[in-house]
Structure 1
Amino acid sequence: MAHDHDHDHDHDHDHAPTVTADSARRVKLAMYLTAGFMLAEAIGGWMAGSLALLADAGHMFSDSFSLGLALFAFYMGDKAPDKRRTFGYQRFQVLAAFINGLTLLGIAVWIFIAAVERFTQPVDVLAGPMMAIAILGLLVNLMVFKILHGGDQANLNLRGAVLHVMGDLLGSVAAIAAALVIMLTGWMPIDPLLSMLAAALILRAAWKILRRSTHTLLEGTPEGVDVDRIQTALEDIDGVVGVHDLHVWGLTPQDPLLSLHLVVRDDISHPAILKTAYARLQADFGISHATLQVEGNACLTGGDCAEPGSVASR
């Protein structure tokens, strides 16, 4: 018996980036503020002999770099798909976030190493200049945080930038606390000690960014998408015998894509089944880009599948 099978695509292939012009403007302004103060803090930290300030300046350098990457990723995401990259350039945002996470990791390791050296070879710290620079840094970081926090927090790069700035805020608070302790007690080890605390917080932020960006780069299922629910919803459609070879991934965490095979009865209209399935995916799961293949028998074209009606492996 011949089995008709169709390979159809949803025509609403919206690959436009979710990054808004407002988010790009916020990132650009934050980058200018961060880069400008980073230079001042590095000079001040070197003159005051404060590792806490130098560590915060290093983090702010990482921030400036990451914000620049995020801005470049936004612009790359605006580029239209071409013959070499048919999905466009949105995935560059995820790659930039991964690099940001690695940069944070490197900064944290450097702070730990420098702090250990300071414990073995103490350095006198000028508490007055350290306090003034740290307070100014806190104000700048608060401004940058407010600018970025008003943007699209669903975007991986913008969210990563906010995490960077939160680390900077904690670094400024640590520097203020260290300067205060030195002014009141003269106990110099507080400077590298609080630097190590800041490094631990930076490591935590780096882990979050690396974990999420790596998951996306490995074509992992986007957060909030329940594969079992999708399969159940499609199998409940009248005329569908089974679902197999189901894959869900994303160009970015907020842009899910789906492909699967639908096994249907021979007496069912394939266009009607496709229309119902696409509508359900869009309405119930927010998936607007899907590739569905209709089959009269399971596994006509191979793939990762099981018998009709059973739970398919994925």
Structure 2
Amino acid sequence: MGQVNKYKERYGMPFKVGIGLNLIYIIFELLFGILFSSVALMTDAMHNLSDVFGLIVSWLAGIISFKEKTPKMTYGYKQATVLGAFANATFVLAAMVWIIIEAIINFNPQGSKQGLSVAGIALIGVVINFTTAFLFQKDSQEDLNIKGAFIHMAADGMISLGVVFSGLLISITGWGGIDSLTSILVAIIVIYSSWGLLRQSLSLLMAAVPEDMDIDQIIKVVKSFNEITDYHDLHVWGIGTNDVAMSIHISLEKQSDYADVLGRLTSNLKEIDKVTHTVVQVDCPQVENENDF
């Protein structure tokens, strides 16, 4: 129960504060982007808006994941966090492609006279985005869904920093093309930082072994039992972003106490981080045939 409460805390105050701060800043940034005719500033605002949607998706996915299991949803709704991470990554990548297209279309070599003002506004974003990212930093190491929120907000901080430099360079050089070039560069950085999230979430949706799970740990535990003479059909997959399930067939020595071995093996397997669901089948000698998968 304590573990469940810990996970619920992850989806409480950090998301509320992060969403609130960024919504206020987006409105502020859009108004001044229009006022100063800054593509970079408006681009930054649109990207921040995409990340707010991403935060909302991650938040809702986390809340849904705590729903009780049902006869139809025997694993519960834990997989919602994986869907949240995947949707988050897909949405941001699509938004970045749109930003690159807009930056090219709106390329303007005429520099804005408000470069310093744009830099000052973007500097506020640097503080807000890195503050929001800090709220998720600790739990991002353990939860892919929250990792998505952290990556996006940290990337936002870098993006806002890019806008700051863009504004300063425009005020110095007077060349407005820096505005669009900054937008394109920032979009490429975000695509690069988000690609891993897309790959990891898609991998989990395909029932792959989670990247933070070392399957050799499981094999080591199995091999530590002298009573186990053989094993096969080992499967490991993620149930959501915080739980790992596994199943395995084992063969035992004839004189072994089956119940004792199963009890100790299950207990040892569940000591492995994130392994919360185990299925161990003891094969009879005459039916030790592997399954197709």
**TM-score between both structures, scaled by the size of structure 2:** 0.91
State the partner residue of 1:247.
235
Match of 1:276 among 264, 278, 291: 264
Once the two structures are TM-superposed, the CA of residue 229 in structure 1 deviates from its matched residue by: 4.3
Stretch moving more, 247-256 or 19-28? 19-28
Distance 1:129 1:276 in 2: 66
- Give % identity: 28
Q: For residues 18-64 of structure 1, what are the alpha-carbon distances to aligned partners after superposition, in whole Å with 9 as ceiling and x for unaligned?
A: 62325421111101111221122122212211121112111111111
Cα distance in 2 for residues equivalent to 1:22 and 1:225 = 21
Question: Is residue 2:95 matched to residue 1:107?
Answer: yes
**Aligned partners of 1:223, 1:81: CA distance in 2, in Å?**
25
Q: Specify the alignment match of 1:97 in structure 2.
A: 85
Match in the other structure for 2:225: 237
Question: Structure 2 vs 1, CA of residues 150 and 15 (structure 1 numbering), >3 Å: closer, same or farther?
Answer: closer
Distance 1:299 1:56 in 2: 62
For structure 2, list consecutive stretches of 5 or more residues without a partner in the other structure.
none
With over 3 angstroms needed to count, the CA separation of the structure-2 counterparts of 1:140 and 1:298, relative to structure 1, is farther
Aligned residues: 292
Which one has the bigger helix percentage?
2
Which position in structure 1 is the counterpart of 2:283? 295
CA distance in 1 between partners of 2:77 and 2:145 (Å): 14
Looking at structure 2, the residues matched to 19 and 155 of structure 1 have their Cα atoms a distance apart, in angstroms, of: 9
Q: Select the structure of larger CA radius of gyration.
A: 1
- The aligned residue for residue 184 of structure 1 is 172
Structure 1 partner of 2:44: 56
- How far off is 1:224 after superposition? 3.5
Cα distance in 1, alignment partners of residues 4 and 91 from structure 2: 28
Counterpart check, 1:74 vs 2:59: no
**Alpha carbons of structure 1 residues 285 and 150: separation in structure 2 relative to 1, 3 Å:** closer
CA change 1:146–1:230 in 2 (3 A) is closer
Match for 2:62: what amino acid? F
2:206 paired residue among 193, 198, 218 = 218
Cα distance change on mapping 1:283 and 1:154 into 2, 3 Å: closer
Structure 1 unaligned regions, length at least 5:
1-12, 305-313
Q: Any conservation in 1 of the 2:103–2:180 contact (CA below 8 Å)?
A: yes
The equivalent of 1:46 in structure 2 is: 34
Q: Which runs of 4+ in 1 moved over 6 A?
A: none
- Aligned CA-pair RMSD: 2.4
